[in-house]
Amino acid sequence: MAAVRPLVAGNWKMNGLAESLGQVDLLLDRIMAGARLDIDIMICPPATLIRPMAERLEGIPIAVGGQDCHMEVSGAHTGDVSAEMLADAGAVAAIVGHSERRSDHGESDAIVKAKAQAAHRAGLTAIVCVGETEAQRRAGDTLDVVGGQVAGSLPDNASASDTIIAYEPVWAIGTGLTPTEDDVAEVHGAIRSQLCELLGTGEGAGMRILYGGSVKPDNAAALMAIDNVNGALVGGASLKADDFYGILEVYGAK
């Protein structure tokens, strides 16, 4: 079976003004000066920066994604952005179900699934986030919680080419804490088995499963070497070109 091509995606969250596009220029400088990176790279800026970033990156193999999308195409949903709008602005993917959306906006698995399907409707790759809280981990419920989120959030007819899972333990996001390598391997292995059961071994084995939660240049190599970790979803460390490149560098050509 062909190896799963890794993806490292940066999630800028609600950070970034026009001047922040300078970080993209710095990142390009680092990439051009470094070893060949045999991976896919994506940046998910706030919606306001999708078009200028996509224009800046035209012809350069760094994709631009959105951080969320509404499930409808258009309508009376003040402040929301549809998947079609993201695509129109130059995005090729949308993160859905990030834990900050699930907690701040009360998004259920059913809502996340509808958003993932909206992403597909607009031709975007859906990056579906799942992950347990600290209390759920302490209670020994991690695999049940994550398994339930995968089952409930995965869009209909998901395939390896249009859907990515991001395992992000909620307690590891922005905290500097990370699970042990064994814990990451256990959860990613369980997600892989579940995807193979739900989608068949072809699609299930080929679907990327990213790890997210305090990935930094100094822990990236260990995290990215774990079985069934097919890249990273990176928050804080994606905001500075040097840090983000330090994570990408893990995938430099040998």
- Catalytic residue numbers read 98, 168
Contacts (Cβ under 8 Å, ≥6 apart) of 204? 160, 192, 194, 195, 196, 197, 198
Minimum CB separation from ligand PEP for residue 147, in Å?
A: 20
Residue 75 token pair: 């309508």
Q: Which residue has the tokens 């699934």?
A: 113
Least Å distance between CB 149 and ligand PEP?
15
**Chain centroid offset of residue 140 CA:** 25
| Residue placing its CB nearer to ligand PEP in the complex, 45 or 235 | 235
Residue numbers 153-172 binding ligand PEP by CB under 6 A: 168
Min dist CB 200 to ligand PEP, Å, is 28
| Per-residue x/- track, 200-239, ligand PEP (CB under 6 A) | ------------xxxx-----------------xxxxx--
Assess 94 for contact with ligand PEP (CB under 6 A): no
Query: What residues between 5 and 44 interact with ligand PEP by CB under 6 A?
Result: 11
- Nearer to ligand PEP (CB atom), residue 121 or residue 216: 216
Distance CA 60, CA 63 (A): 8
Q: What b/e sequence results for 18-55 when a residue is b if at least 16 CB atoms lie within 10 Å of its CB, and e otherwise?
A: eebbebbeebbeebeeeeebebbbbbbbbbebbbbbbe
Q: For residue 156, give the 3-state DSSP assignment.
A: coil
C-beta closer to ligand PEP: residue 199 or 224:
224
Q: Footprint of ligand PEP on this chain (CB under 6 A)?
A: 11, 168, 173-174, 212-215, 233-237
